[in-house]
């Protein structure tokens, strides 16, 4: 092949590419493979507001006791292995993040989590505090749920229970009536 033939062939290729490129929509008009966000609801139930602020899980017993005293509430302590214990994960998913439980907790409970993860990072101080709480309350399995008065005295003890958030809240209420 001679130089003139190569030049003509290269020109033809460039012309073909430019014709194809000119037929494409500009980049701003290319349709994404992502779905558009859903439109806001026009009728039906309004979107519920976020849970009340007191449904935050604390990690400090001192802070939980201070709030429980000030607000005259019971402390619910969740001894958990949040990233490895299947029953702990089920309790979290089926009860602790559900609206009926969160509504009840906002009115009646101070929530404290005492976590013993295997993969999640914790400060050495948090690990020591959690181990001391487990020792103090004799926790040997997970999940262990304690209801404490503001002074840290045990009112009741439970764990995972099937049935979802409403039966679990009823169970907590019955423990507090004793």
pLDDT tens by residue, 21-63: 566 555 544 444 555 666 666 666 666 665 555 579 999 999 9
Query: Tell me, what's the pLDDT at 178?
Result: 82
Query: Tell me, what's the pLDDT at 24?
Result: 58
- Strands in 74-80's sheet, in edge-to-edge order, are 109-115, 74-80, 144-148, 154-158
Query: Tell me, what's the pLDDT at 45?
Result: 66
74-80/109-115 β-pairing: parallel
| Residue pair 106/56 in contact by the 8 Å Cβ criterion | no
Query: Tell me, what's the pLDDT at 29?
Result: 47
- CA 112, 60, 156, 105 dihedral sign is negative
152 CB contacts (<8 Å, ≥6 apart)?
A: 61, 65, 75
Which regions of the chain are under pLDDT 50? 28-32
| Residue pair 138/131 in contact by the 8 Å Cβ criterion | no
What residue segments make up the domains of the chain, in order of their start?
53-173
pTM above 0.75, yes or no: no
Query: Tell me, what's the pLDDT at 20?
Result: 64
Query: Tell me, what's the pLDDT at 26?
Result: 59
Query: Tell me, what's the pLDDT at 88?
Result: 98
Query: Tell me, what's the pLDDT at 107?
Result: 96
Query: Tell me, what's the pLDDT at 55?
Result: 76
Which element (helix H / strand E) includes 110? strand 109-115
Pick the CATH number of 53-173 from 3.30.465.10, 3.10.180.10, 3.40.309.10, 3.40.30.10: 3.40.30.10
């Amino acid at each position: 092949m001679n130089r003139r033939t190569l030049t003509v062939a290269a020109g033809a290729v460039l012309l073909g590419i430019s014709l194809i490129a000119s037929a494409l929509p500009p980049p701003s008009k290319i349709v994404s493979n992502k779905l558009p966000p859903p439109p806001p609801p026009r009728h039906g139930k309004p979107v519920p507001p976020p849970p009340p602020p007191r449904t935050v899980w604390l990690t400090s017993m001192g802070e939980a006791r201070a709030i429980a005293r000030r607000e005259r509430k019971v402390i619910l302590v969740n001894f958990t292995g949040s990233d490895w214990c299947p029953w702990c994960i089920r309790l979290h998913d089926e009860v602790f993040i559900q609206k009926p439980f969160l509504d009840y907790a906002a009115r009646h409970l101070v929530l404290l989590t005492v976590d013993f993860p295997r993969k999640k990072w914790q400060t050495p101080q948090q690990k020591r505090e959690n181990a001391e709480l487990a020792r103090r309350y004799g926790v040997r399995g997970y999940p262990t749920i304690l209801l404490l008065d503001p002074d840290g005295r045990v009112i009741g003890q439970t764990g995972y229970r099937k049935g979802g958030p409403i039966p679990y809240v009823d169970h907590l209420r019955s423990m507090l009536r004793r």
